[in-house]
C-alpha cells in the first residue's frame, strides 16, 4: 500500500485508495482500466515523465489489486472572459461492468467534488456522453463550437515556419507550453502541458509548425475539402491568422478554428458542435463564459 493513500473505506470487500499514481502497481492498474473500458492507452505518458503530478484520483480496488472504479481530477487553469480561473479537469471516470449499479461512481463524484472544494477550485470541467450523471451534482453543459470563415488574404512576404517533431523537439515544445499565453482571452486553457504533449501522440494527422520568430507553435491539419484546420497555438504570443497561414506556405480555401478565435484577428461564424460528447462545467454563474467558445482539442482529456 502506498503511504500517500489517504483513506481505506472498505465497501463490499473493496479497498478505497486516493492519490495512488506514484505506486507503480496502481499506475499500471489505472492504465489497464482505461484500456479495458475506453480502449485508450495512456502509456505515451511514461515517455513524457509519467502522470500529471497535479492529479488527485479516488478509486476502488479489489483484493487482487485490480482498479475497478476510478475518477481523477487534475489542475487545469482556465482563462475565461479575461479572468484567470483556478479550475480542475475530471477524467478517467469508469467502473468495471461487474461492479456497476452499486453506487460506486456516485461515491467517487461526491468525494472528488469535496476535494475540489477543499482546494478552493473555482470551476470543474469534464467531457462526457452521459451528462445525466453530472447534472444532479450541479454541472451544466457548456455548448462547444468551431469557428469557420474565409482564409485570410496574404499580403506580406511569408517567413516560413519549421515543422517540429514531437519526439526530437520535446524540450522546445515544453518551453513554448510553459511560456504560453492562452490562445483566447474569452475561453482557453491557461496551462496544461502534459495533455497537449499526450494529444500530440493520440490525435492523428496533425502537424506542429514553429513560426519564424520561434515564439509560437501552431497545431494544424488540412481537411479533405481543403480547409485549414487550426487546433491550437502555443507560445508567448498569439499571431494573427494571416501570419500563421503565410508562415505555413499554404493557400487554403477556408479556415476552421477549434479554438475561440478572439486573438486571431479574423472574422468567422460559430458552428455548434453536435457530437455525442458534451463539455460540462461546475462553477458559480458569473464564471461561465459569455458567447460561443471552444476548447482546443489539444487540451482534450
Ligand atoms: C457511467 C458509469 C461510471 C456508472 O458507474 P456506476 O458505478 O454503475 O454508477 P453508480 O451505481 O454510482 O450510479 C448510478 C447512478 O447513475 C445513474 N446513471 C448510470 N448511468 C447513467 C447514464 N448513462 N446517464 C445518466 N445516469 C446514469 C444511475 O441511474 C444511478 O442513479 P441513481 O443513483 O439515482 O440510481 C459506468 O457505467 C461506466 O464506467 N461506464 C463506462 C464508462 C463511462 O461512461 N464513464 C463515464 C465517463 S464521463
> pLDDT tens digits, residue range 243-288?
999 999 999 999 999 999 999 999 999 999 999 999 999 999 999 9
Looking at residue 158, what is its pLDDT? 79
Mean pLDDT of 41-58: 92
Question: What are the distances in angstroms from CA 56 to CA 30, 78, 119, 169?
Answer: 13, 18, 11, 29
Q: What is the mean pLDDT of residues 126-137?
A: 97
| Average confidence score pLDDT of the chain | 93
Span 89-116, average pLDDT: 96
Distances (CA, A) of 63 to 30, 39, 234: 15, 24, 44
Mutate to test the pocket of ligand 1, among 35, 91, 105, 135 (most ligand atoms within 8 A of CB): 105
| Cell representation of residue 107 | 461515491
Cell numbers found for residue 37: 473500458
Atom number in ligand 1 closest to CA 99: 7
- 30 CA → ligand 1 middle, Å: 18
**pLDDT at res. 155:** 78
Instruction: Using DSSP bridges, classify how beta strands 216-222 and 207-210 pair: parallel, antiparallel or unpaired.
Output: antiparallel
> DSSP state, 98?
G
Report the pLDDT averaged over residues 224-241: 96
DSSP label at 53? T
17's CB contacts (< 8 A; 6+ apart) are: 1, 2, 5, 7, 8, 26, 58, 59, 60, 61
Residue 20 has pLDDT above 90, yes or no: yes
Q: What is the mean pLDDT of residues 82-95?
A: 97
132 lines ligand 1 (CB under 6 A): yes
Residues 112-127 have pLDDT tens digits of 999 999 999 999 999 9
Average pLDDT (152-166) is 89
Ligand 1 atom nearest to 129, measured from its CA: 48
**What's the confidence (pLDDT) of residue 249?**
92
Of the given ranges (122-131, 149-158, 218-227), which has the lowest mean pLDDT? 149-158
Structural domains for the chain: 15-144+274-299 (3.40.630.30), 145-271 (3.40.630.30)
Q: What pLDDT does 139 receive?
A: 98
Residue 48's pLDDT is 85
Average pLDDT over residues 77-96: 97
Q: Please check the confidence at residue 197 and state whether its pLDDT lies above 60.
A: yes
What are the φ and ψ backbone dihedral angles of 171, each rounded to 5 degrees? -65, -45
Whether residue 194 is predicted with pLDDT greater than 80 in this model: the reply is: yes
Q: What distance in angstroms lies between residue 71's CA and the mean position of ligand 1's atoms?
A: 12
Whether residue 54 contacts residue 74, with contact meaning beta carbons closer than 8 Å, is answered with yes
> Could you identify the residue written with the cell 499554404?
250
Amino acid at each position: 500500500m502506498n503511504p500517500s493513500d489517504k483513506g481505506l473505506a472498505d465497501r463490499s470487500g473493496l479497498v478505497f485508495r486516493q492519490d495512488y499514481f506514484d505506486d507503480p502497481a496502481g499506475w499500471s492498474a489505472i492504465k489497464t482500466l482505461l484500456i479495458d473500458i475506453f480502449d485508450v492507452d495512456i502509456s505515451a505518458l511514461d515517455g513524457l515523465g509519467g502522470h500529471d503530478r497535479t492529479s488527485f484520483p479516488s478509486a476502488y480496488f479489489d483484493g487482487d489489486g485490480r482498479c475497478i472504479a476510478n475518477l481523477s481530477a487534475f489542475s487545469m487553469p482556465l482563462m475565461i472572459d479575461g479572468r484567470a480561473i483556478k479550475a480542475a479537469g475530471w477524467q478517467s471516470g469508469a467502473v468495471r461492468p461487474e461492479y456497476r449499479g452499486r453506487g460506486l461512481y456516485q461515491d467517487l463524484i461526491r468525494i472528488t467534488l469535496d476535494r475540489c472544494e477543499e482546494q478552493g477550485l473555482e470551476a470543474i470541467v469534464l467531457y462526457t456522453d452521459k451528462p445525466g450523471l453530472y447534472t444532479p451534482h450541479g454541472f451544466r453543459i457548456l455548448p462547444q463550437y468551431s469557428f469557420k470563415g474565409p482564409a485570410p488574404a496574404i499580403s506580406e512576404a511569408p517567413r516560413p515556419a519549421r515543422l517540429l517533431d514531437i519526439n526530437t523537439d520535446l524540450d522546445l515544445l515544453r518551453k513554448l507550453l510553459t511560456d504560453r499565453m492562452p490562445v483566447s482571452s474569452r475561453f482557453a486553457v491557461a496551462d496544461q502541458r502534459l495533455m497537449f504533449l499526450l494529444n500530440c501522440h493520440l490525435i492523428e494527422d496533425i502537424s506542429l509548425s514553429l513560426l519564424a520568430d520561434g515564439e509560437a507553435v501552431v497545431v494544424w491539419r488540412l481537411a479533405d475539402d481543403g480547409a485549414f484546420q487550426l487546433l491550437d497555438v502555443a507560445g508567448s504570443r498569439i499571431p494573427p491568422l494571416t501570419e500563421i497561414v503565410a508562415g505555413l506556405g499554404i493557400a487554403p480555401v477556408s479556415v476552421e478554428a477549434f479554438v475561440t478565435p478572439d486573438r486571431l484577428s479574423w472574422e468567422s461564424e460559430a458552428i455548434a458542435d453536435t457530437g455525442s460528447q458534451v463539455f460540462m462545467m461546475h462553477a458559480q454563474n458569473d464564471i461561465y463564459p459569455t458567447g460561443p467558445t471552444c476548447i482546443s482539442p489539444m487540451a482534450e482529456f
